Amino acid sequence: MLLCSVSAQAQTKPEETEVWSPEPARVTPATATHAPSDAVLLFDGANLNEWVSTAAPDKPAPWTVANGVFTVRPGSGNIQTRRQFGDYQLHLEWRIPADIKGTGQDRGNSGLFLASTGANDRGYELQILDCVNNKTYVNGQAASIYKQSIPLVNACAGAGEWQTYDVIWTAPRFAEDGSLASPAYVTALHNGVLVQNHVALRGETVYIGKPSYTKHGRAPIKLQDHRHLVSFRNVWVRELETAN
């Protein structure tokens, strides 16, 4: 107690605990229609130049673009970004058709794969689905880390309304021998509401069985063709740091 008192008395000026440098970089913040100044714009409203076919990454993304929006072309396959990312902040807006039919998983189904680790649906999926008055398994509803983490709340807007995902992705780290050094973490907000709070993932998304990890590095972001007419707009990403 005496040592603490002496130390406190030795610091007599507030300036002694002020830090002036280095200064954080200046970033112009996002607006409803513009990305932050340091973001990579993944969709500019006009084309899908930042996206490719997952099945054939040397070919352009085959989904449709119209009126500042791009939409799944059912049966054409998943699409993923040309670029690869490590840790990042992502903003994405999505919409289920107002006249959607079906129930359960057959109602406006798509997926945001936070890292695509291979063909088809390999990677880590944040589910997209209409979950207003639509009952399904809770670890498969909108804003779930599919088959892994149930969202804290159901923050879905109605079919036909634009919805937002804001995600902080921390990529997994691997040792030289391929063993897991640190898991992936996800923090996600759905329509401005916290739904995943720094959740540690148990591995890549799987439909059947238990998730597990396979060593990988930087990876594309992927969107799923689940044969439903889900639309997207205003997609941007801010890289935070490089993953292993």
Cα(118)–Cα(113) distance, integer angstroms: 11
Report, as ranges of residue numbers, the positions in the chain whose pLDDT lies below 70.
1-9, 242-244
Q: What is the pLDDT of residue 244?
A: 46
Distance (Å) of CA 136 to CA 102, 117, 142, 162: 12, 27, 10, 21
**How far is CA 81 from its chain centroid?**
12
DSSP string, 53-69: ESS-TTSB---EEETTE
In total, the chain counts a number of residues equal to 244
Give CB contacts under 8 A, 24+ apart, made by 127-133.
128/94, 128/224, 128/230, 129/96, 129/105, 130/96, 130/100, 130/156, 130/159, 131/156, 132/156, 132/157, 132/158, 132/159
- Half-sphere exposure of residue 43, counting CA atoms within 13 Å on the CB side? 29
Q: Cα–Cα distance between 48 and 45 in angstroms, integer? A: 8
Other Cβ atoms less than 10 A from the Cβ of 76: the count is: 15
151-175 pLDDT per residue, tens: 999 999 999 999 999 999 999 999 9
- Give pLDDT tens digits for 129-159: 999 999 999 999 999 999 999 999 999 999 9
Tell me, what's the pLDDT at 55? 97
Specify the DSSP element, H or E, that contains 237.
Answer: strand 231-241
Question: How many Å apart are CA 42 and CA 29, to the nearest integer?
Answer: 17
Residue with tokens 């714009």: 41
The whole-number pLDDT of residue 10 equals 72
pTM of the model: 0.93
- Asked if 223 contacts 113 with a C-beta cutoff of 8 angstroms, the reply is yes
Residue 243: the pLDDT is 43
